[in-house]
Structure 1
Amino acid sequence: MQSFVKFSHFIGKTFALWVLLVAVVAFLIPEQFLWISKYISILLGIVMFGMGMTLSLADFSEVVRHPKSVVIGVVSQFLLMPLIAYGLAKGLNLPPEIAIGVILVGACPGGTASNVMTFLAKGNTALSVAITTVSTLLAPLLTPAIIYFLAREWLEVSASSMFMSVIKIVLLPIILGLIVQLFLKEQAKKTVDLLPLVSVVAIVLIMAAVVAGSKEKIVESGLLIFAVVILHNGFGYLIGFFIAKLFKLPYNDQKAISIEVGMQNSGLGAALAAAHFNPIAAVPSAIFSFWHNISGPLLATYWTQKTKK
């Protein structure tokens, strides 16, 4: 069992490698992965269920202890990334489906990978977890609303149907995970170490389905989308850091907020894009999932080295 747990953590740490590997395979033989498309929402629900199993009251204590930092982080998450995405879409005159996809990534809450990166960067990990938790719980309301207001000039957006989607694939699984943790505490503890493996497998399969279903569009627009994703992610880190600095938050909080703003729950973006828009709209989420797992460790390494000096 111990060796399996080590394998699970190894898979979690090398997440970006598996995303790249499976994406390449899905691109070369897309017909082998198209069947996954109908299960995207279920796969993301499994990831969110795992998140629910790892949450505790301690994760919310940071909200009470340092409400200013949490509010700045959550507001920055839902304000900066959508506006950066909108600015890139307008400034680069992106095609409608790609513009929708970029804004969709920007409107998603932070991903759990940001908590790991904050820890590695010697940032305020408790704050990072609190921001991720609060932003995820607010996502059913804020994500559809943001997409509706920013993306409707490109395509018709149904905020109500997206609201129900986020409820089903984010909020309900998290609540179920919390219930399992509450009533089956000992059994839940035994499975927590296996969650990195389950999460990686689920997200990698989602990305494979997206790549397989959008091969032609990736050939046509892949470099453009990749460039936009790098800019989106980079501006998120940079502006998030300076917003926290502007409000005179402690340096460790600045690092946490920078990473929280820059890293998104791209799995949710891919699931919503696949369910409500053209499959190409899910490609920015797929590329973001790969890229932020490269940029995040690079940024964390920079801050770690700076802390040592």
Structure 2
Amino acid sequence: MNSTQSSSRRPKNQSAEEHGAFYAVTIFPLLILAAGVLGFLVPGAFAGLTGWVNPLLGFIMFGMGLTLTFPDFGMVARRPIPVVIGVVAQFVIMPFLGWFVSWALQLPPELAIGVILVGCCPGGTASNVVSYLAKGDVALSVAMTTISTLIAPFVTPVLAVLLAGERMSVSGASMMMSILQVVLAPVILGLLIRWLMPRFVNRVTAALPWASVVAISVIVAIVVSGSAAAIVSAGLLVLVAVILHNGLGYALGYGAAAIFRLVPSARRTTAIEVGMQNSGLATSLAHTYFTPEAALPGAVFSVWHNVSGALLAAVLRRRAVSER
């Protein structure tokens, strides 16, 4: 989905652009859902792929880096306040919502860790496409996603230890090194390649959404294949937790932007950035350091936040945006 976010920043044909973006956030979740069903029905097919979760996430983040350019960071310098508000809201609202939902639903420790990890992760890359469809501020969305991703190696472990430390047997330092390796390093590498070889990157960006969805689909299939028992016993509970976490994130993100009097398009973007998470990272961390059950909320979130994002965009784009 990352190349779609790039093209949405520089649209050439708006109707074709909207069609492609809507396709990305509606068809892709169905493909990811199909991968999850496949992992549940034939778990043995993915039993030998458990070591591929981190490399696949690194590939997805490398694709995100390929869609970035250095001028994208100018947004932070030109309009720092909306970016700071969005990023702070991202790392305050969603982590504590993850803890609250886990407590309210009395989730088992493994599932609670998974939900909290989802909340502690940065914004998801698909949020840029959803912001575009919802008539939000796309440049602001890209800036928020980029900054939250770049600081995640240092913020995510601290939040995870703070909110789930009593359930965790891993140190924050180990988690930080993992995020540096599978998130920050691939993003920076992709950004540098985009800068050094722009013509080559422009030729391959059209394939990046499909490459990314294949990668996240395989991750979901691997996680589901190792969590069949948890799905049977607690699948509905996990789905309820994910829906609450995601939906409350949208609402509180919009509320935070309204409190600080951001313009309506920025409010929409902030809501989407807060509600949509890099659940692939949460899945990877849970799979690496905890049990397959702990990775289940991230896998479910990967499907659901795209579905809810498409629905939210469809509702918001029918409502006029006044910037006064």
Q: TM-score, normalised by structure 1?
A: 0.95
Aligned position for 2:291 = 278
Residue from 121, 141, 147 that aligns with 1:108:
121
Q: How does 1:245-256 map to 2 (within 5 A)?
A: 245-256=258-269
Q: Does 1:91 align with 2:142?
A: no
| Paired residues of 2:21 and 2:129 also in contact (CA < 8 A) | no
Secondary structure of 2:89's aligned partner? helix
| Paired residues of 1:73 and 1:257 also in contact (CA < 8 A) | yes
Taking the aligned partners of 1:228 and 1:9, their CA distance within structure 2 comes to: 26
* 1:203-230 deviation line (CA, Å, top 9, x unaligned): 0000000000110111111010000000
Taking the aligned partners of 1:9 and 1:287, their CA distance within structure 2 comes to: 21
Residue from 143, 146, 160 that aligns with 1:147:
160
Secondary structure of 1:307's aligned partner? coil
| Paired residues of 1:273 and 1:279 also in contact (CA < 8 A) | yes
Secondary structure of 1:249's aligned partner? coil
- Comparing 184-193 with 211-220, greater Cα deviation is found at 184-193
Taking the aligned partners of 1:74 and 1:11, their CA distance within structure 2 comes to: 24
Aligned position for 1:17 = 30
Deviation at 1:156, TM superposition (A): 2.2
Secondary structure of 1:305's aligned partner? coil
| Paired residues of 2:25 and 2:307 also in contact (CA < 8 A) | no
Deviation at 1:103, TM superposition (A): 0.3
Q: 1:115 to 1:11 in 2, by over 3 A?
A: closer
Q: Aligned residues: percent identity?
A: 48
Aligned position for 1:52 = 65
Q: 1:296 to 1:52 in 2, by over 3 A?
A: same
Q: 1:8 to 1:239 in 2, by over 3 A?
A: closer
Secondary structure of 1:72's aligned partner? helix
Q: Which AA in structure 1 matches 2:126? A: A
Secondary structure of 2:277's aligned partner? coil
| Paired residues of 2:118 and 2:278 also in contact (CA < 8 A) | yes
| Paired residues of 1:8 and 1:197 also in contact (CA < 8 A) | no
Q: Does 1:257 align with 2:270?
A: yes
Q: Which AA in structure 1 matches 2:82? A: S
Q: Does 1:292 align with 2:305?
A: yes
Deviation at 1:308, TM superposition (A): 8.4
Residue from 163, 171, 174 that aligns with 1:161:
174
Where does structure 1 lack aligned partners over 5 or more consecutive residues?
1-5
- Comparing 98-107 with 148-157, greater Cα deviation is found at 148-157
Taking the aligned partners of 1:10 and 1:199, their CA distance within structure 2 comes to: 15
Taking the aligned partners of 2:73 and 2:180, their CA distance within structure 1 comes to: 20
- Comparing 53-62 with 71-80, greater Cα deviation is found at 53-62
Q: Which AA in structure 1 matches 2:154? A: L
Q: 1:105 to 1:122 in 2, by over 3 A?
A: same
Q: Which AA in structure 1 matches 2:199? A: E
Residue from 252, 266, 285 that aligns with 1:239:
252
Q: How does 1:177-192 map to 2 (within 5 A)?
A: 177-192=190-205
Q: TM-score, normalised by structure 2?
A: 0.91
* 1:237-285 deviation line (CA, Å, top 9, x unaligned): 0000011001000000000000000000011111111001111111000
Deviation at 1:159, TM superposition (A): 0.5
* 1:99-124 deviation line (CA, Å, top 9, x unaligned): 10000000000011000000000000
Deviation at 1:157, TM superposition (A): 3.1
Secondary structure of 1:194's aligned partner? helix
| Paired residues of 1:12 and 1:197 also in contact (CA < 8 A) | no
Residue from 218, 240, 243 that aligns with 1:205:
218
Q: Does 1:269 align with 2:266?
A: no
Secondary structure of 2:320's aligned partner? helix
| Paired residues of 1:8 and 1:193 also in contact (CA < 8 A) | no
Deviation at 1:64, TM superposition (A): 1.2
Deviation at 1:36, TM superposition (A): 2.1
Taking the aligned partners of 2:192 and 2:22, their CA distance within structure 1 comes to: 25
- Comparing 53-62 with 8-17, greater Cα deviation is found at 8-17
Q: Which AA in structure 1 matches 2:311? A: L
Taking the aligned partners of 1:70 and 1:223, their CA distance within structure 2 comes to: 35
Taking the aligned partners of 1:222 and 1:149, their CA distance within structure 2 comes to: 26
Deviation at 1:307, TM superposition (A): 2.2
Aligned position for 2:146 = 133
